[in-house]
Amino acid sequence: MTGGVGFIGSNFINYLLEKESRVHVVNLDLLIYPGGVQNIASLNRQPRHTFAQGDICDSALVGELLKKYAVDTIVNFAAETHVDRSIVEPDQFIKTNVHGTFTLLEEARKYWALAGMRGRFHQISTDEVFGSLNPEEAACTERTPYHPRSPYSASKASADLLAQAYFHTYQMAITLSHCSNNYGPRQFPEKLIPLTIANLLQAQEIPIYGDGLQIRDWLYVEDHCEALYLILRDGQAGESYNIGGENQMTNLELVERICARFDQLRPALKPYRQLIKRVSDRPGHDRRYALAIAKVRQIFQWTPKHGLESGLDKTIQWYLDHLDWLDSILTDAAYLQWVKQNYEFRGQG
């Protein structure tokens, strides 16, 4: 597994190890974010988890790990993941998301051929590769043509195409999944939901880009993990699968809901929504993402278990229970530097 220290990866490792008693996870992660080590602290004493710090672009290291642990399945979570960062510093997105995925595919191809093994490669992709939808357009299916519009989504789309090419050219057992916006425990507070929670806790303004009427579909991370598990277990080589939360909402409505929950949990003198502040828009901001999930529903009888209310309740509670984790990130020099850089880039510095 790669990127298993990050938000979705760390949730998936916990899910998988609980579900499967014979799986051993080798977790290759570069630890690009502060807080990473804490994300896998609970796995330190887990004998079926081995952490390796390193870069997925490092072919020698990838090849060595595949051989040393006789890896039979790769799930590639590792990526640069924040659209705003991809706009300010696209270079690293191309390196990690494109070249890193290529390196994994190539090293896997060589190792599995040498070992005479039919390994499995699962690429974690995103709804963003399908591009921006209008409010009245139908949700994207697995057959919707790609139309990425940010350096992030273009790099993820490129990685998908490489993975598909390895299926067709080398007959490798490759599967892909596209998920919508995840939320839940351990998400880095640069993304909308944890950023809103972190700012509310500090009584700081919540920046809403543009008119705030952009629509995202929200998927609770545990539901995502369940679908991924089913795809890994029973998915077909060469297939891709949409995993959506069926929770579409405008950013403004979402943030207002979190504010209302804070009004109940931590009443203050003024309603929290007064902290919402419209700021300049993200360049090329995609208006709407939406995924049709009929395929996973039909094949795996999977359906998201969390509505936004229960998912948000669990998420907010996790952050309230882990204020030390949050604090260690919010006071980290590299994080503060990024916040400053992003604000300056957006003309708000």
In the list ligand TYD, ligand NAD, none, the entry touching 208 (Cβ below 5 to 8 angstroms by class) is ligand TYD
Q: How far apart are CA 191 and CA 268, in angstroms?
A: 24
Q: Kindly determine how many residues on this chain lie close enough to bind ligand NAD according to the rule CB under 6 A.
A: 31
Beta-carbon neighbour count of residue 340 at 10 Å? Answer: 11
Residue range at the interface with ligand NAD (CB under 6 A); choices 14-22, 72-80, 249-257, 270-278: 72-80
> Least separation, in Å, of the C-beta of 266 and ligand TYD?
21
Question: Tokens 């029973």 appear where?
Answer: 234
Question: Tokens 């208006």 appear where?
Answer: 287
Per the annotation, the verdict on 128 as an active-site residue is yes
Q: Should residue 29 be labelled a site residue for ligand NAD when binding is judged by CB under 6 A?
A: yes
Question: Interface with ligand TYD by CB under 6 A: which residues?
Answer: 83, 181, 191-192, 195, 207-209, 214, 216, 251, 282
What token pair was written down for 346? 């957006």
Q: Which is nearer to ligand TYD, 53 or 348 (CB)?
A: 348
> Least separation, in Å, of the C-beta of 124 and ligand NAD?
4
Q: Should residue 7 be labelled a site residue for ligand NAD when binding is judged by CB under 6 A?
A: yes
In the list ligand NAD, ligand TYD, none, the entry touching 78 (Cβ below 5 to 8 angstroms by class) is ligand NAD
One-letter amino acid at 231 equals I
Q: Find the catalytic residue in 128, 160, 190, 223.
A: 128
> Least separation, in Å, of the C-beta of 269 and ligand TYD?
24
> Least separation, in Å, of the C-beta of 314 and ligand TYD?
18
In the list ligand NAD, ligand TYD, none, the entry touching 77 (Cβ below 5 to 8 angstroms by class) is ligand NAD
Pairing status of strand 181-183 against strand 173-179: unpaired
Q: Find the catalytic residue in 33, 152, 241, 335.
A: 152
Per the annotation, the verdict on 309 as an active-site residue is no
Q: Which is nearer to ligand NAD, 104 or 259 (CB)?
A: 104
Question: Tokens 């030390």 appear where?
Answer: 324
In the list ligand NAD, ligand TYD, none, the entry touching 251 (Cβ below 5 to 8 angstroms by class) is ligand TYD
Q: Should residue 13 be labelled a site residue for ligand NAD when binding is judged by CB under 6 A?
A: no
Q: Which is nearer to ligand NAD, 275 or 290 (CB)?
A: 290
Instruction: Output the residue with the shortest Cβ distance to ligand NAD.
Output: 6
Residues 137-196 that bind ligand NAD (CB under 6 A): 156, 179, 181-182, 188
Query: What angle separates helix 221-234 from helix 7-19, to the nearest 10 degrees?
Result: 60
Please identify which residue in 5, 83, 129, 254 interacts with ligand NAD, judged by CB under 6 A.
5
Secondary structure of the chain in HEC code, one letter for each residue: CECCCCHHHHHHHHHHHHHCCCCCEEEEECCCCCCHHHHCHHHCCCCCEEEEECCCCCHHHHHHHHHHCCCCEEEECCCCCCHHHHHHCCHHHHHHHHHHHHHHHHHHHHHHHHHCCCCEEEEEEEHHHHCCCCCCCCCECCCCCCCCCCHHHHHHHHHHHHHHHHHHHHCCEEEEEEECEEECCCCCCCCHHHHHHHHHHCCCCEEEECCCCCEEEEEEHHHHHHHHHHHHHHCCCCCEEEECCCCEEEHHHHHHHHHHHHHHHCCCCCCHHHHEEEECCCCCCCCECCECCHHHHHHHCCCCCCCHHHHHHHHHHHHHHCHHHHHHHHCCHHHHHHHHHHHHHCCCC
Q: Should residue 308 be labelled a site residue for ligand NAD when binding is judged by CB under 6 A?
A: no
Residue range at the interface with ligand NAD (CB under 6 A); choices 25-33, 106-114, 195-203, 269-277: 25-33
Q: Find the catalytic residue in 55, 80, 84, 127.
A: 127
The footprint of ligand NAD (CB under 6 A) covers 2-3, 5-9, 28-33, 36, 55-57, 77-81, 96, 100, 124, 126, 156, 179, 181-182, 188
What residues are labeled active site?
127-128, 152
